[in-house]
């Protein structure tokens, strides 16, 4: 069921985009809060510092690698072949999150955080291109992949550059990371899907939002469970969403048109 006409959905996305940009540009630069690097669970196990925060990233490496294997070798995923690079970007980014985020959590600081954020942005921008291809236009989704990747990667390097010069600014990165969280649901609700099992994208969004809650409640979760922290559960929860999406790509069928 469509909740908005396609034209009205595009208008709403444009208005929300303009408001987001104007609000953030009228804010002062946002430096990285150094307290972000202080996680609740710092236990070292088998000489691995912050062990659970490190190894809880390994599901990303597995799921991303599995997705790439099926995309490139078994060719068993039901995707928009014309925009296959976008799916590759998503699963490659997911696999690299498993490496980059593990590296960051071995020694959390602004320098290592770059390698956590960079692959996340690649995966996210690939996903945006995929969703535009599957719901709006294959040609538009395909043509936007490279600009999306350039914008996403630039936002991370811009933050890193400003941070290294003592004037950290996360505003550009915030736009790239959070605006799609408003735009994607509008697209899912307003445009006709080319494939079945659209619910997988909703599960992906839901697990991502739950992961963010776990991230915010890192200390409280660790105090409650005393085994695993909110940040480790954040990694696991987000990886579950990526796995659900991968499974849907294996099982879904093209939507029949009347």
Q: Report if residue 60 sits inside a domain.
A: yes
pLDDT digits (tens, 9 = 90+) for 76-105: 999 999 999 999 999 999 999 999 999 999
Q: Report if residue 124 sits inside a domain.
A: yes
Q: Report if residue 213 sits inside a domain.
A: no
Domain that holds residue 138: 6-195
CA–CA separation, 84 and 189 (whole Å): 24
Q: Report if residue 203 sits inside a domain.
A: no
The predicted structure's pLDDT at residue 1: 54
Q: Report if residue 17 sits inside a domain.
A: yes
For the whole model, what pTM was predicted? 0.94
The answer to whether 88 touches 122, Cβ cutoff 8 Å, is no
* pLDDT at position 2 over 70: no
Q: Report if residue 214 sits inside a domain.
A: no
Residue 189's Cβ-count burial label (10 Å; 0-12, 13-18, 19+) is: middle
Domain count, the chain: 1
Q: Report if residue 166 sits inside a domain.
A: yes
Dihedral of CA 3/245/127/154: which sign? positive
CA–CA separation, 234 and 232 (whole Å): 5
Structure tokens at 204: 């992906």
Q: Report if residue 150 sits inside a domain.
A: yes
Phi-psi category of residue 46: left, alpha or beta, with phi > 0 → left and psi -120 to 50 → alpha: left
């Amino acid at each position: 069921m469509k909740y908005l006409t396609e034209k009205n959905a595009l208008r709403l996305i444009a208005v929300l985009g303009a408001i987001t940009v104007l609000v953030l540009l009228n804010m002062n630069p946002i430096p990285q809060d150094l307290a972000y690097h202080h996680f609740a669970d710092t236990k070292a196990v088998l000489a691995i510092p912050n062990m659970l925060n490190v190894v809880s990233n390994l599901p990303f490496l597995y799921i991303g690698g599995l997705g790439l294997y099926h995309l490139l070798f078994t060719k068993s995923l039901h995707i928009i072949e014309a925009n296959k690079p976008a799916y590759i970007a998503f699963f490659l980014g997911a696999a690299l999150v498993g490496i980059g985020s593990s590296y960051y959590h071995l020694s959390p600081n602004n320098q290592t955080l770059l390698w956590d954020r960079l692959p996340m942005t690649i995966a996210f921008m690939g996903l945006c291109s995929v969703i535009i291809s599957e719901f709006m236009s294959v040609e538009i989704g395909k043509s936007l992949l490279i600009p999306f990747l350039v914008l996403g990667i630039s936002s991370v390097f811009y933050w890193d550059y400003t941070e290294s010069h003592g004037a950290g600014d996360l505003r550009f990165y915030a736009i790239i990371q959070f605006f799609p969280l408003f735009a994607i649901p509008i697209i899912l609700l307003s445009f006709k899907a080319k494939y079945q099992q659209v619910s997988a994208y909703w599960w992906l969004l839901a697990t991502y939002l739950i992961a963010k809650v776990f991230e915010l409640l890192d200390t409280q979760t660790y105090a409650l469970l005393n085994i695993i922290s909110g940040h480790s559960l954040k990694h696991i929860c987000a990886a579950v969403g990526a796995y659900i999406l991968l499974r849907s790509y294996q099982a879904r069928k093209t939507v029949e048109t009347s």
